[in-house]
Amino acid sequence: MKLWMACSFTALAAFGWAGPAAAPASVPAPPQPLSVTLHVRQSRRRISRYEYGMFIENLGSLVYRSLWAQMLDDRKFYFPITPARPHPGQSKVPAFFRRLQPRKWRPVGPPAAITLDPRRPFVGAHSPRIALAATAARGIRQSGFSLVAGQRYRGHIWLRGSRGARVRVRLSWGTRANQSRTITLPPLSPAYRKFPLRFTAGGTTGAGALAITGQGTGSFHIGVVSLMPADNLEGFRPEVIAQLRRLHSGFWRFPGGNFVADFNWYDAIGPRDRRPPVLDHAWNAVQPNDVGLDEFMTLCRLIGAAPYITVNAGFGDAHSAGEEVEYMNGSAHTRLGALRGRDGHPAPYHVQFWNIGNEPYGTWELGRTDLKYYVLKHNEFARAMRRADPAITLLASGAMPDEETIEGIAAALHLKNDQVPFCSPADWTCAFLQHCWGNFDGITEHWYARAGVRFDLRRAIQGVRVHGMEAGYVPARESLLQWVRQPSNRVRLKAEEWREYERRYPQMAQKKIFMSIDEYAYTGAPANLKLALAYAMVFNEMLRHTDFLRMSAFTMGVSTLDLSPTAAALNTTGLLFKLYQEHLGPGLRPIALSGNSPQPPPRQQFIDGVLPRTNAGSPTYPLDMLAAVDRRRQYLTLAVVNATRAAQPFTLHVRGARLAGGATLWTMTGPHLKAANRLGHAPQVTVSRRRLALSGATLSAAPLSISIYRFALRP
């Protein structure tokens, strides 16, 4: 994930771009009636469960605030413990980052009584030492987390100290004396001991607090402290897990993203309390390492998704990557498989999908290596990882000319016109095809489209920037259909580029080399009906290319949810994923579809030089359609996206089969484009289901809707 993404194409000569072109004066009106023909006998490769994958990375506290049930930040005491002071630049920090900033521990009593002692730390570089006074309470306190009345909370604390120390732990849900509960701990010893914590909240608040204080003589040290709702699922939030299960995701990709280039997997295994907190230099955030490799496998098991792991090819090395594979997949008789067994997981995980590196082409990536050396690095990683497990599926981290032009890689290499030609020294995807045969099974691609702006190659060459983003982005004037189509055009462009590679390297098809879009998102747009229409077109476009586009991972997996600290629900994006996974899921075969209304040609002034040769979408403008049949051709499914404000009638024809009676229609829509589903409010976007009699061949797509038709077929 690119650094700029958290805040919110090449001018290919081979594709015929010759500079900015004048926009068509107007788009021709679609024919009346709009006609579509489905060719049941002309089918493509089956849809894979991995078409509906998810991506997650340790970006700030994203994982810990969304998935993990731990309520306390900095529970291993990485940061200094100082009184709270207003930060003069806090108001300038984007809201996204403010939400991810950790809560801090603050002194109770004189700050001078607290030191971070580097001698015999429990974990990490130091542990807090609190010097005691006879009668005044001294210690630390953290506040700002949520509590629910009647909810039970469980945790523990590791302490050592003087025998004269009397330590108490108090959970508060208000400021009055009767709005807290205090646990008095047994006498301490010179060695660290683990003490259980059990509370029941007497009130609901978003300003809960935990205080650890002592009185008496001498001092005490705090090793780590933990507090979770008692109903957590093996450390994960149960309400979040329940919603993610509804998505039936094919896989989840972890742990990065930019984060992985600085990730030491050895720090993320073993007893959680003993894993050191580390500073992630990619996102300038401290990670407690509580959600490591074994916890990721637990998450995948809980939500029914396959795991997909990216290894560190930034600051990492091939030997470590090979050992990571052995830890995850090796038998209990191997050295690292035995270590996994001692960690409580004796059976191998058999992780199939492994990705070498993340966006290694990016100038933002830690440990970046020039392409001519990176291919050597990739091959070394592949050999080490396959020695550990020859059965794994390896994916190389590619980047096609569109991605590299947008991200300024061409400019950094001083290529002519800031463009990346096919198979030039800057073309990462082509480099794998030239130098890495046998060391990959698939190639990854990333794309992020930005709402409200367009990429202008001329402006990129001139260095023009909008709101601090990379050069080349300028405000866009788009119709609704153009706005909705923008992200699916990135998919169409990547498909056209892939065909060019297949033309140059026929062995790609012979060896069944596939593409995985490991990260994608339409950024800068809220999760509402308008965004759902855009993502539905993305799904349709990806499923048109199942012969080679076999996997995709949405950024971020939790972006399908509306979340609070204590509740979760599917947002409109999640509702769309659920709709498509249930009705255009694994096993169905997309079929050919023809129509009498081709999509209008790309308007190159919107994204100069980085548009596909043909706009994304089916030949059914202004609708976008995708059809599929089941393995036995017993039923036919048709997805229709109507991103217009009017009902759109169309006539349906079927070739190669006969319809049997009526149909079932699922329609996802809402009262307006900004309609959204939020916690605490009645859903504005819903999926309705009804039966259709099919008295004739004419159907109608509702305004601003995603419709899924299911027709029975005669044998």
32-44 tens-digit pLDDT = 889 999 999 999 9
Model confidence at 111, in pLDDT bands (50, 70, 90)? very high
Q: List the end-to-end C-alpha distance of the chain, in Å, as a whole number.
A: 48
Number of domains in the chain: 2
Kindly state whether residues 380 and 286 are assigned to the same domain: yes
> Is residue 645 one of the residues assigned to a domain?
no
Mind listing the pLDDT tens digit for each residue in 465-491? 665 556 677 788 889 999 999 999 999
- The residue ranking higher by pLDDT, 5 or 331, is 331
**Looking at the predicted structure, is the pLDDT value of residue 169 above 70?**
yes
**Nearby residues of 196 by Cβ (< 8 Å), 6 or more positions away:** 154, 155, 156
Kindly state whether residues 257 and 317 are assigned to the same domain: yes
Q: State which residues form the domain around 383.
A: 45-67+234-449+481-586
Kindly state whether residues 288 and 206 are assigned to the same domain: no
Please tell me the predicted confidence (pLDDT) of residue 573: 98
> Is residue 343 one of the residues assigned to a domain?
yes
Q: Provide the token pair at 306.
A: 């396959």
**Looking at the predicted structure, is the pLDDT value of residue 581 above 80?**
yes
Please tell me the predicted confidence (pLDDT) of residue 413: 64
- Average pLDDT of the residues in 183-212: 97
Asked if residues 553 and 516 have their Cβ atoms less than 8 Å apart, the reply is: yes
Torsion of CA 32, 691, 642, 521, to 10 degrees: -150
Closest CA to 353 of 393, 320, 390, 408: 393
Kindly state whether residues 148 and 197 are assigned to the same domain: yes
Closest CA to 265 of 169, 197, 203, 343: 343
> Is residue 329 one of the residues assigned to a domain?
yes
Kindly state whether residues 557 and 420 are assigned to the same domain: yes
> Is residue 136 one of the residues assigned to a domain?
yes
- Average pLDDT of the residues in 667-680: 97
Kindly state whether residues 61 and 174 are assigned to the same domain: no
> Is residue 602 one of the residues assigned to a domain?
no
> Is residue 11 one of the residues assigned to a domain?
no
Instruction: Give residue 259's identity as a one-letter amino acid code.
Output: F
Kindly state whether residues 287 and 183 are assigned to the same domain: no
- The residue ranking higher by pLDDT, 698 or 243, is 243
Please tell me the predicted confidence (pLDDT) of residue 465: 62
Please tell me the predicted confidence (pLDDT) of residue 67: 97
Mind listing the pLDDT tens digit for each residue in 361-409? 998 899 999 999 999 999 999 999 999 999 999 999 999 988 888 887 7
**Looking at the predicted structure, is the pLDDT value of residue 556 above 70?**
yes
Q: Which of 229, 249, 283 is the last residue of a domain?
A: 229
Please tell me the predicted confidence (pLDDT) of residue 4: 45
Q: How far apart are CA 345 and CA 132, in angstroms?
A: 42
Q: Indicate the range of 478-482, 540-544, 599-603, 655-659 predicted with least confidence.
A: 599-603
Please tell me the predicted confidence (pLDDT) of residue 468: 59
The CATH number that applies at residue 565 is 3.20.20.80
The CATH number that applies at residue 218 is 2.60.120.260
Q: How far apart are CA 307 and CA 355, in angstroms?
A: 11
Please tell me the predicted confidence (pLDDT) of residue 83: 94
Q: Please, what is the average pLDDT of the chain?
A: 90
- Average pLDDT of the residues in 61-69: 94
Q: How far apart are CA 51 and CA 117, in angstroms?
A: 50
Mind listing the pLDDT tens digit for each residue in 417-441? 566 788 888 899 999 999 999 999 9
The residue with tokens 């993203």 is 257
Say whether 148 sits in a helix, a strand or coil: coil
Q: What is the 3-state secondary structure (H, E, C) of 650-710?
A: EEEEEECCCEEEEEEEEEEECCCCCCCCCCCCCCCCEEEEEEECCCCCEEEECCCEEEEEE
**Looking at the predicted structure, is the pLDDT value of residue 27 above 50?**
yes
Kindly state whether residues 178 and 308 are assigned to the same domain: no
Kindly state whether residues 185 and 324 are assigned to the same domain: no
Kindly state whether residues 258 and 139 are assigned to the same domain: no
> Is residue 312 one of the residues assigned to a domain?
yes
Q: Which of 190, 208, 229 is the last residue of a domain?
A: 229
Please tell me the predicted confidence (pLDDT) of residue 464: 63
Three-point CA angle 86, 92, 93, nearest 5°: 90
What is the share, in percent, of the chain residues with pLDDT greater than 90?
A: 80
> Is residue 649 one of the residues assigned to a domain?
no
Model confidence at 85, in pLDDT bands (50, 70, 90)? confident
Q: How far apart are CA 547 and CA 539, in angstroms?
A: 15
Q: How far apart are CA 258 and CA 160, in angstroms?
A: 38
Q: Which of 586, 613, 646 is the last residue of a domain?
A: 586
Mind listing the pLDDT tens digit for each residue in 505-521? 999 999 999 999 999 99
**Looking at the predicted structure, is the pLDDT value of residue 606 above 50?**
no
Kindly state whether residues 376 and 501 are assigned to the same domain: yes
Kindly state whether residues 263 and 399 are assigned to the same domain: yes
Angle between helices 428-435 and 371-388 (to 10 degrees): 60
Q: Indicate the range of 245-254, 333-342, 657-666 predicted with least confidence.
A: 657-666
Closest CA to 621 of 591, 592, 645, 641: 641
- The residue ranking higher by pLDDT, 438 or 698, is 438
- The residue ranking higher by pLDDT, 496 or 12, is 496
